Amino acid sequence: MQEDRIRLHVWVSGVVQGVFYRAATIERARELEVDGWVRNLPDTRVEAVFEGTAEAVGRMLAWAYEGPAHAVVEHIEASAETPRDEQGFRVAY
Catalytic residue among 22, 28, 84, 90: 22
22 is catalytic: yes
* H/E stretch holding 78: strand 72-81
Amino acid at 7: R
Q: Give the three-state DSSP class for 77.
A: strand
28 is catalytic: no
Catalytic residue among 40, 45, 59, 84: 40
Q: Catalytic residue numbers?
A: 22, 40
